[in-house]
Amino acid sequence: MTVTLVRGDLTGQHVDAVVNAANSSLLGGGGVDGAIHRAGGPDILAACRALRAGRYGKGLPTGQAVATTAGRLPARWVIHTVGPVWSASDDRSGLLASCYRASLEVAAELGARTVAFPAISTGVYRWPLEDGARIAVDTVRAQDAGRFDEVRFVLFDATAHAAFEAAVTGR
Ligand code: APR
């Protein structure tokens, strides 16, 4: 498994699965979530609504992951996961790590060999980038390397890319 860093837009990644930084409603939002629904089209929201009408009647809990079609995106699946909101008083690192772990579990079950992640929780949910990058890289590296050909972190801006670069190189 190679871990790669890319500066760019998650919605343009030609991979088997892209991971969405969703919220528990699964009904869309801003940031990555908004971009994925805008670019992927209505089939993604329809599939999310079906999940809410079924297994996830109360929404997707923080730290868990579930897959839907990727609609018009150049991917086969979107794996939706809900990151924890940053808290200075409550250590939610385990929940953030769980987003990466659970998303890769779902990807492996689907047979996805290439997976693209955003920097989960580091936007609207205010998780500090350096710490978010460390948790992301460490959690992905701890997974069974044989299950995937590539796990790609797609960073939207130079600051995020630098934070992940530092996490990958251990600087
Ligand atoms: N491609 C890649 N990365 C992106 C994109 C994009 N198109 N758009 C935003 N990002 C980056 C942000 O810069 C940030 O580093 O993704 C990271 C995660 O930011 P958010 O999308 O705000 O996600 P998060 O912090 O997990 O907050 C989730 O925001 O959009 C709502 O519905 C979503 O309520 C949920 C909350």
For 19-46, write each residue's pLDDT tens digit: 999 999 999 999 999 999 999 999 999 9
Cβ 138 under 6 angstroms from ligand 1? no
Of 73, 92, 75, 72, nearest in space to 84 by CA = 92
Give the nearest ligand 1 atom to 28 CA. Answer: 32
* % of the chain at pLDDT higher than 90: 98
Q: What's the whole-number mean pLDDT along residues 47-74?
A: 98
Instruction: Give yes or no for a contact between 78 and 120, defined as CB atoms under 8 angstroms apart.
Output: no
Cβ 35 under 6 angstroms from ligand 1? yes
Q: Is the pLDDT of residue 171 over 90?
A: no
Q: Which domains does the chain have, with CATH numbers?
A: 2-169 (3.40.220.10)
Q: What's the whole-number mean pLDDT along residues 82-98?
A: 98
Q: Which of 9, 33, 131, 149 is catalytic?
A: 33
Q: Among this protein's residues, is 33 annotated catalytic?
A: yes
pLDDT, position 7: 98
pLDDT, position 111: 98
* % of the chain at pLDDT higher than 70: 100
What span, in angstroms and rounded, lies between the C-alpha atoms of 6 and 151?
11
The most distant pair of C-alpha atoms in the chain lies apart, rounded to whole Å, by 46
Give the nearest ligand 1 atom to 126 CA. Answer: 25
Residue nearest to atom 34 of ligand 1 (CA): 23
